[in-house]
Amino acid sequence: MRLRALLDTDALGLRLLGGEDELDRAVRGVMTTDLKDPSRYLSGGELVLTGLAWRHGAADSESFVRILAGAGVAALAAGEAELGDVPDDLILACARHRLPLFAVNESVAFATITEHVVRQVSGERAGDLAAVVDRHRRMMTSGPTGGGPDVVLDLLGSDLDLRAWVLSPTGRPIAGSKVAGAALPADVCARLAAEHLAAARTGRRGPHRVTVGTATYSLFPIRASGRSSGASRDVRETVLSDWLLAVEADAGDWPEERLDLLQGVTQLIAVERDRRDAARTVRRRLAQEVLELVQTGAAPAEIAARLRVAAPVLLPGLGAAPHWQVVVARVEWEGGEIEGGPVAQSLLEEILVDPLSAGPEHSDRIAVAHTGDEAIALVPLPAVSAEHDGSEEGLLADSLLEAVRDPLSAGLDDDGRLTLGVSAAVHSAEGLRGALEEARHARRVAAARPGRVCAAGHQELASHVLLLPFVPDDVRRAFTARLLDPLRDYDRRHRAELIPTLEAFLDCDGSWTRCATRLHLHVNTLRYRVGRIEQLTSRDLSRLEDKLDFFLALRMS
């Protein structure tokens, strides 16, 4: 479709602010963003919708528009709901870069524009199927009362006789049409998810065809609505978070029109995916706030106050204060150039859905934060009765991965790894710091095992690790200060990285060669650093007792 056609659609209520000479540009998609730099999600030809939340001053407009123009987008549409009129600096920046600019009236939802553009782009070649696509889109974009993906899949079944299901990357059923009949068996869901992830890792374009028993399924990836298949982004950053649409049919002999139709349907379902992700924002923020309080040594009363705010959000209607469990996950890729934290966060949110489900209202109640390559989940558990001994309360590490090991192993392929640790349940804010350390120690136990996907629980920890969380804070501070403060001071003055060197040396069990390789150092340089550590602390890293002291100090710091 052409930009000019957008102005001819009264329902969209668009007002042209600049770029009249460019209205014959073709629109190939639509993206909604408030990122300051959305370039990684752009492939060219998009109509970009923005609420202007990225703009904090006039200078921001020039940078934002320059990025869009460089990515080859078709036009920019700015909402008036946040700031009222579109700022003059944005109008001028678009004029300088010859980027058409529309104003979106505050009475028009971005979903309405998205629905219209997707319908036009996907429906131009759909022929007689256009009416079906239109019905699907109207249902999908009508908000919560529209019924979500299930309604779209029902229409696929009733109008096109296609049995279809939406699955998570772990094979968890998210939606299915009534026409599809009985739900897919769990082993079939896991097999389809594994095949989809394996195919995605090869870079092959969908749909991927898989035969399970006597049935053939075509698998269509469902990507976040703001990210097109052409975006230049490492597949490992998204492969473990994308949903998939499984259709019981062989798409190999489908006409182009029907393939376009199904691609349009995946874009609609992606909108629902984005809605669910947006709903997790509050829970993620709560988890981040609690985690920062715990890690900075905040007073238990302050942490408890934050937990009281979190509890109604995570467990609506809960009468008593919950107990809590901490789950730590880490995703690591060979080469280390990809930050694993966001991937681990998405996976942990997915993995923890089923074990926690007590009905639809509780199917998504955990809060997950991430930092670096690590994701940390704060899991509320209904408080057990006084006579319960607590021996069976909470999540078990092995059960968390039992149903998802095969799909995740396929997605991680031969260059990724997921390790997970689970703490015991704690009954108050005072126990959260210990629970966090316990979960991290359990994850390290899992990391020592072979396999792409491994987990360990608090029951598997060695006795000295179990004791660490319960050492009084003043004792911990004195112990760690005596051993580590001289190294921290030296690092601060000389940028010598003695603390990271010590951690790596112990993690490599004192192996000079392995440690030097991990740190990308010459062995002589490593020996110099270790010698400096021993000189500053009057310890000998060849002695088991001193190694253990350093190990405990690092774990308690």
Domains of the chain: 3-112 (3.40.1390.20), 147-275 (3.30.450.30), 281-468 (3.30.70), 473-556 (1.10.10.2840)
Query: Residue 215 and residue 157: Cα distance in Å, rounded?
Result: 17
Residue 391 has pLDDT above 50, yes or no: no
Residue type, 250: D
pLDDT in tens, 25-44: 888 888 888 899 988 888 88
Residue 137 has pLDDT above 70, yes or no: no
What is the reported pTM? 0.56
- The number of beta carbons lying within 10 Å of the beta carbon of residue 207 is 26
Q: What is the DSSP string of 423-462?
A: PPPBSSGGGHHHHHHHHHHHHHHHHTSSSSEEEEEGGGS-
pLDDT in tens, 313-326: 665 554 455 678 89
Confidence of residue 468 (pLDDT cuts 50, 70, 90): low
Query: Residue 168 and residue 23: Cα distance in Å, rounded?
Result: 39
Query: Among 498, 523, 525, 497, which Cα is nearest to 512's?
Result: 523
Across 202-210, average pLDDT = 80
Residue 49 has pLDDT above 90, yes or no: yes
pLDDT in tens, 407-459: 888 888 878 888 999 988 888 777 888 888 888 888 888 887 888 888 888 87
Confidence of residue 390 (pLDDT cuts 50, 70, 90): very low
Residue 388 has pLDDT above 70, yes or no: no
pLDDT in tens, 480-507: 888 899 999 999 999 889 999 999 999 8
| Residue 153 structure tokens | 């899949």
E-assigned strand segments in 25-129: 29-32, 46-50, 75-79, 101-104
